[in-house]
Structure 1
Amino acid sequence: MAQRAPRRSGASRPTSREGRRPRARDEEGILPVLAKAVRQVEAAAQRGPVRPGARTAYQVVALLVREERARVKTDPEVSEAERSAVLTRLDGIATILAKTAARDTSLLALLAEDATVSSAALSLKEDMLRAAGREVEPEEEPEPDETAAAPAAPQRIVPPTVIARQLANPFLAPDYSAVPPRPTTNRLGGWELLTPLFRAFESGGDATCMPLPEDPDLPMGMRGLHLMRHQAQLVAAAAEGHRTFLLADEPGLGKTAQALLAAEAADAFPLLVAVPNVVKANWAREAELWTPRRTSTVVHGNGETVDGFADIVIVNYEILDRHVGWLGEHGFQGMVVDEAHFIKNKTSQRSRHVLELSERIRSRRLNPLLMALTGTPLINDIEDFRAIWQFLGWIDDTKPRMTLMAALEENGLTPADHGFYKAARTSVIDLGIVRRRKVDVAADIPSRRIADLPVELDDEAGRSIRAAEQELARRLVARYESALATRKVSVVVDGIDHDLVRRVAEWEREDGGSDKTGDNVFTVMRRIGQAKAGLAADYAAQLARNVGKVVFFAKHIDVMDEAEQTFARRGIGYSSIRGDQTPKARKVAIDAFLTDPEVSVVVCSLTAAGVGLNLQVASNVVLAELSWTSAEQTQAIDRVHRIGQTEPVTAWRIIAAQTIDPRIAQLIDDKAGLAARALDGSDEEVGSSADVQLEALVTLLTKALEKRQAAAPATEVPAAADVLEVPEVTEA
């Protein structure tokens, strides 16, 4: 009989709840309760469609995993080893949740932040907490106040410049110039048609793309940008009068440019663009590139900086609630919804706002330009597209609208007829469904390209980063001014002494690693990477749901940790390749990504996974942090872009706007050369990492001096060549 190992001396079992260590939760506490519940849900999903009781349990387990993770990460009484052990077990539970959702993707709606938590779910949550030995304090209901006013409506904002525009244009006359065709028969009047329409897509069929002009013009785009043929086809369709599009091209095929140029072709301005927060800055940049004659404005927070007279208004879903009022009265001629699968849950707040806005736009203009952009294939979970079709005006809550009904009547068939489903599917597609894959338009796009995705860091971390950059710039200016003060021979320098700027940057780079100098260019870039981690992971999760496997690269462990936690919360299966793994663990992680359909993302260290791997099962790469050299970046992309890859590869480089990040990206590109980096795949190193660091410091110092000089006249200063010595500067 096996003997029980003796307990080590000094390791006494705690006798009170307060003294119990988290490691004792292997057999008690919340973790075993969650583990048991998630296994029961997993087993239920394996038997068939998940029933309501199991769905409730699934949602409650997910809620408790989130709460427990947040509690453990912030509990000062938990040691690092204990915290790591608990988080590992929570990750295991989250992985089972993700695998279960892969069997029944309707469960993903329960993970949304705005998902409804039923009273049954709240009751089950209390039961689980009691089973874990935790006391559940019932919420105290406030005594009714008969004198209290009714609950306040959601805060509604009207920015000052919007009011100014309304006063300048007091009469926004409705436009009813284009009347949709009316059905000439009423053969389908007594039929329920929405369910048959959705079923027509579930069974698959021909390619999901409306007829497009075969030979569109391929004009030179603005600022030397060229339209690709597949992009020009959609723009030509808009120019010919088509006004509703469900644009479902795969990521990397330029849906943003197509939407903007379609609006230009349709003269659909002012244009409203509703997007996720992670791509808001990218839309502003693309609008400037493709429609430079149009002004664009981005709505932040309460809209204090909104330009009410702009042609393009970009707003993220999260703040629609406070702006939906004035947006509905603004007189938009068109509306674009990016990542349109975000509105598939019609009960969510953002979906209700989007549908309200489209309805109000149609009430003023009968034939506005309405575009829903998403890379999600239409043949999966077609019911999820009910809200999108309603946004486009193809259906309402219960039946097809006039245009679609006229097309169905024209087919001369009813749901009882054999050919109805194929004909109905074609009728819906002809309303404006456009779906192209990378392999379908491979001749249009390079075999490998890098797409920069700017994101905004508008939280506390972003403000801290910008403050750190300013402090670094102040230190550089102090060094520059100190160097000027040590010169012996005075000469007149017209403006900034750029030779001295470069020498000051070199001094900073040489001793910038010293902790007495505060934040240096390395620590600033690391902080930027940490702040971008969640946004980069969110975008990778969107890609994973849209097109399948994604490779996620980061430089630092904490960025990888944040990304993995985001994937777990989103129900995305992932594996991880790190430098501290054993060869066996590394092989298991790689094989899981290559062969397991439930593992959608592999989170890779740039240094540990940048070479020696073949990950060509994916065609999309997310670069969450910038490299200091182009070779490191190229090596990472080449894990996917290599011999045997059958699809064009897109590397999405996440760039933090309004920081030094864009300048670093530009420097890397300038040093490498566009052709070597994006066309021929050369690994030749053009310039070193030290060059990029030096030029970044030169940029910071030059910009700071330009700001100072703008408010002061030129002064008599010594030449850079006369500097004899530079005293040590320790404070700005």
Structure 2
Amino acid sequence: MGRGERDAIARGARLYEAAQAVVADRSRAVEAVKAALKPIHDAAVKRELDAIPVARLQDVTEGRLRLGNVETSGLRTVGHVLEAGPYRLRQIPGVGQRTVDQMLAAARRLSEAAHETVAVHIDVDRPEQSTTALVMALHVLVEAGPDARRAVDRATALAERLGPLLVVARPAAGRIRILLAGREKKARALTAVTAIRSLVDEAEHEGLDRLIAQASVDLLRPSSDLAAWTDFELRSAEYYSLLAEISGRLPDAAAAEGFLPDEIAERVRTQYLDDAHRRVSLRGYQAFGARFALAQRKVILGDEMGLGKTIQAIAVLAHLAAEGQSHFMVVCPASVLVNWTREVEARSALRVMVLHGPDRHYAFADWKGRGGVAVTTFDALRGFPEPGGGEVGLLVVDEAHSVKNPKTKRSQAVAVWADRCERTLFMTGTPMENRVVEFRNLVRMLDDDVADSLGERDVLAGSVAFRKAVAPVYLRRNQEDVLTELPALQQTDEWEELSASDEEAYREAVRAGNFMAMRRAAYMRPARSAKLDRLREIVQEAGENGHKTLIFSNFKDVLGVVEEALGTRPAGGAPVFGPISGSVPAGRRQQLVDDFAGVPGPAVLLAQIQAAGVGLNMQAASVVIICEPQIKPTIEHQAVARAHRMGQVRPVRVHRLLATGGVDERMVRMLEDKTRLFDAYARRSAVAEATPDAVDVSDTELARRIVEEEQARLGMTDARLTTSE
């Protein structure tokens, strides 16, 4: 027995202690969230119970209680009854002990139900000490990210294996111990030492020791209220996802699993999901969606907008890459091409490349040789050679309803690729339940048998029958079913690549040195406007999901272009109101808002951002589109606040349309730091809320800088320079 055995045991003990420590570090971080959440949740439950009239106790007891004297005594709500307690209730004339017992039992049942169902909403505009503590506690875990969770999971498994081995190997840790050990005990100790050495070597080879050490550092890193609130505003969905997981208030399992039949749901649940190449945590329903795509191989993911279909697709790509697949193809409208590349880069460790534009065939050849995630458009796909069997690990088709007509060339191209790929993932947020013919066309690209079995009778029999018929290939979840801790505000930057026509209009504006013309150039040639195409897609999807949409721009002529592009009733049947501008009298503005709100179902309201940013309440809307970035963040915040405010019962989804490589990108980059400081400090100021100019993060010099830089980038050093019209 020599130094080698003692060193192996010492290495194993150090790794075991580190593994236990990181598990304890995360447990403490989780407990900190629970401790911060409890008083907020208890207060929310109390508010809920204080709003339930005492008459509801009759419903719980099937009308057996007589509550007239209770109400006249001043106890008007269920919350009041619980606060009063048995002694106070017994003092009410005509209320006996049996009534008291029944009343309190019924009130406690309602209280238990409230504790299970009441969700906590974090108000970023009114931060309190309690919510700040919660956001700071969550910030530690969100910042630590998926790597910390991965480290804890692997550390837990490692500790479970190392712990018993270290106990058995203990006699080999010293000369005297091993001498005093019997033959059998000595043999077991030496076998354990060999196993410990193998485990430690394997862990070090895989970098698990470094992963554990980094996770402990991340989980112990202190958080500041400023950093936490700023980060919360940037990625609130991750905070709410973590909050739902820790609080245990998870969505109904059947709803999260899209009401799939038991046999399919069980197969999906047991599907392993590898996260080695993924940089983002998934909500439970998102993990199920990724597993569904893997288990069923060729599917349609039809989740409602805002539920993270792209994240689920990336999770599938990451899993297949971990299994050894090397080539993937994403097909999408040109309007979301840039978003896809940015999302893949940000959310995974996968190589991504764009197959678009004049060099797309060179890019395709490069992708064929080196692999990765290729992102292309429907039109470009038609020009690429068809893949060989097994060559492409996954074909992803975004906005798949675009290929519902089998007679179009784009549909035929997608059908060929889907047939040649072993796995295909169609994505669409458009509900398909009432479009059997169109839906059957999509399904046929994936599974002929399911398509043949799908008839009009399935829809006539109701959505349950429809879901059962299409369950092998179709999964859809709605926000209200799966988001228990509902983010009040979800913000998405929609990056678009300018079309050739857009680019030409933009260069003319840059050459003229006209900053304002540069900002709206992307809309000035509507027939080939990338931003306008994406705007129409968002409006259509919102309308088909029953949502009302607000569209803001700084420019009246941009709103005019949008109005003409949408027509009086865009796809989805939503009527269009406005535009509201500075020249519209105040009374007329309010009438337009009232008409917009009064429409049952979807509608669209156009508004100039400064004219509508103050004084009008538009909480009927749950989708907001901002046509271009604003110079002052205050203007943007106040416009969004017209919809996202008291009385808004749905989450608000904000889409900011941005063009790559020009004025939008420069504005976003130059204003980003100042905007974060503004969000953290000034936005919580009553003065800043009341006056957009209270905190001015921009000035004429910023516009001048952007114009000069763009002229230099485009080789226009002899061009004129102006910053206003």
Q: TM-score when scaled to structure 2?
A: 0.53
Match for residue 516 of structure 2? 522
User: By how many angstroms is 1:373 displaced?
Assistant: 0.9
* Equivalent residue runs for 1:610-621 within 5 Å: 610-621=613-624
Aligned residue number for residue 297 of structure 2? 243
1:462 aligned residue: 503
Partner of 2:639: 636
Which residues in structure 2 correspond to 1:52-131 (within 5 Å)? none
Cα deviations by residue, 1:383-428 (Å, 9 ceiling, x for unpaired): 321122112225477457xxxxxxx9xxxxxx99xx9988864544
User: Whole-Å Cα distance in 2 between the matches of residues 439 and 337 of structure 1?
Assistant: 25
Listed as ranges, the gaps of 5+ residues in structure 2 are: 1-254
Aligned ranges for residues 671-690 of structure 1 at < 5 Å? 671-673=674-676, 676=679, 688-689=695-696
Higher normalized helix content (fraction of residues): 2
Q: 1:689 to 1:546 in 2, by over 3 A?
A: farther
Which letter does structure 2 place at the counterpart of 1:647? R
Map Cα deviations across residues 636-685 of structure 1 (whole Å, 9 max, x no partner).
11121111222221100111012121231234442222893899987667
Q: Figure out how many residues of one structure are paired with residues of the other and give that number.
A: 440
Match status 1:273 vs 2:327: no
SS in structure 1 opposite 2:431?
coil
Q: 1:269 offset after TM fit, Å?
A: 4.3
Q: Which amino acid in structure 1 is aligned with residue 338 of structure 2?
A: A
1:355 match? 415
Asked if 1:383 corresponds to 2:424, the answer is no
Q: Once the 2 structures are TM-superposed, how far is the Cα of residue 379 of structure 1 from its aligned partner? A: 2.7
In the TM superposition, what is the alpha-carbon distance from 1:560 to its structure 2 partner?
0.6
**Partner residue in 2 for 1:562:** 561
8 Å contact from structure 1 (residues 269, 334) kept in 2: no
Distance 1:704 1:558, change over 3 A: closer
Shift, 1:453, TM fit:
0.7
Q: CA RMSD in A?
A: 4.3
| SS, match of residue 445 in structure 2 | helix
Aligned-partner Cα distance in 1 for 2:677–2:402: 35
Deviations 1:291-338 (A, max 9, x none): 333232232257245243242222222344433x44578932221111
SS at match of 2:644: coil
* C-alpha separation in 2, matches of 1:233 and 1:383: 28
Question: Counterpart in 2 of 1:344?
Answer: 404
Aligned partners of 1:237, 1:398: CA distance in 2, in Å? 22
Q: CA deviation at 1:690?
A: 5.7
- Report if aligned partners of 2:523, 2:561 keep a CA contact under 8 Å in 1: no
Measured in 2, the distance between the counterparts of 1:258 and 1:289 equals 14
Which of residues 379, 385, 394 in structure 2 aligns to 1:318? 379
Query: Using CA pairs below 8 Å that are at least 6 residues apart, which structure has the higher relative contact order?
Result: 1
Residue number in structure 1 paired with 2:116: none
Is the contact made by 1:544 and 1:600 (CA closer than 8 Å) also made in structure 2?
no
Supply the distance in 1 between the matched residues of 2:342 and 2:353 (Cα, whole angstroms): 9
Q: Alignment partner of 1:566: what SS?
A: helix
Correspondence for 2:608 among 591, 594, 605: 605
Give 2:698's aligned amino acid. D
Q: Tell me the SS of whatever aligns to 2:642.
A: coil
Unmatched 5+ stretches in structure 1:
1-204, 362-367, 401-407, 409-414, 472-517, 709-727
Q: Is the 8 A contact 1:299 1:315 kept in 2?
A: yes
Offset of residue 222 of structure 1: 7.2
Equivalent residue in structure 2 for 1:541, among 535, 539, 542: 539
Task: Output one character per residue of 1:597-654: Cα deviation in whole Å (capped at 9) or x when no partner.
Answer: 4762111110111222222222111111111111111111112111122222110011
Contact 2:273–2:291 (Cα < 8 Å) also in 1 = no
Matched, 1:575 2:632: no
Determine the C-alpha separation between the residues in 1 that align with 2:721 and 2:542.
47
Residues 612 and 438 of structure 1: CA distance in aligned 2, closer, same or farther (over 3 Å): farther
Aligned to 2:213: none
Say if 2:698 is the partner of 1:691.
yes
* Contact residue 532 and residue 654 of structure 1 kept, 8 A: no
Closer/same/farther in 2, CA of residues 729 and 624 from structure 1, 3 Å limit: closer
Name the CA shift for 1:552/1:372 in 2 (closer, same or farther; >3 Å). Answer: same
Matched ranges for 1:286-305 at <5 A: 286-300=343-357, 303-305=360-362
Match of 1:284 in 2: 341
State the distance in 2 between where 1:618 and 1:422 align.
27
Q: CA 1:297/1:422 → structure 2, altered by over 3 Å: closer, same or farther? A: closer
1:234 aligns with 2:289: yes
| 3-state SS, counterpart of residue 376 of structure 2 | strand
Deviations 1:569-594 (A, max 9, x none): 84452111233224454344223321
- Alpha-carbon deviation of 1:236? 4.0
The Cα shift of 1:695 comes to: 4.7
Contact 1:669 1:677 in 2 (8 A): no
- Give distance in 2, aligned partners of 1:677 and 1:621: 22
- Write the deviation string for residues 491-535 of structure 1: whole angstroms up to 9, x where unpaired: xxxxxxxxxxxxxxxxxxxxxxxxxxx414333223245456523
CA 1:220 to 1:466, structure 2 compared with 1: closer, same or farther past 3 Å? farther
Offset of residue 232 of structure 1: 2.5
